[in-house]
Amino acid sequence: MRKILTLISLMVLCGIVFHACQEAPRESYETEWLGETKQEIVNNIEEQFQGFSRTMVEVSYRYAELYWSGIDENWEYAEYQREHIDEAMEQGFMRRPEREASSQQFISAALPEIEEVIQTGDKEKFLESFTRLTASCNTCHAMEEVAFMTVKIPEQRYSVIHF
């Protein structure tokens, strides 16, 4: 009888040990400030990427650079900035998908139009197209209820890049 009891307790013990071994070990990471668990780290990374305002700060810098590159007729730099505006917007939509619909006219009309004009290297046409691009920024601002932020063609250069 005793032997049977010992055997049963051994089996129970083995069961507990086996179960404990099967549980996945808790992963913890050493980071400077991002957090310890995977979830904490992912949350903090998302937070640090920020939302659409970060996109806009980048886009407005590139928008001004695009303008001055046209004034300078530095078409390579103009195309570089046009492409990076497009990329920055795409990244912004990943963060804030709800903003994409209002920017359709900007992405599908205003930006492709200026891309074509850049290829022709016609300064007059560029300036016309740039006025339409500016209006397109403001159309989206109106649709997104931030019409109090009116985009205007830059009057001064702040860039260190000159032709």
Using CB under 6 A, list all residues that contact ligand HEC: 51-53, 56-57, 59-60, 63, 99, 102-103, 106, 137, 140-141, 144, 146, 149, 151
The CB-of-14 to ligand HEC minimum distance in angstroms stands at 58
The CB-of-83 to ligand HEC minimum distance in angstroms stands at 13
- Residue (40 or 115) nearer to ligand HEC, CB: 115
The CB-of-15 to ligand HEC minimum distance in angstroms stands at 55
Q: How far apart are CA 104 and CA 119, in angstroms?
A: 22
Q: What b/e readout covers 69-80, taking b as 16+ CB neighbours within 10 angstroms?
A: bbeeebbebbbb
- Residue (40 or 105) nearer to ligand HEC, CB: 105
- Residue (59 or 117) nearer to ligand HEC, CB: 59
- Residue (15 or 51) nearer to ligand HEC, CB: 51
151 near 137, Cβ under 8 Å? yes
Q: How many CA atoms lie within 13 A of 31 on its CB side?
A: 14
User: Residue 113 carries which side chain, given as an amino acid letter?
Assistant: E
Q: How far apart are CA 88 and CA 95, in angstroms?
A: 11
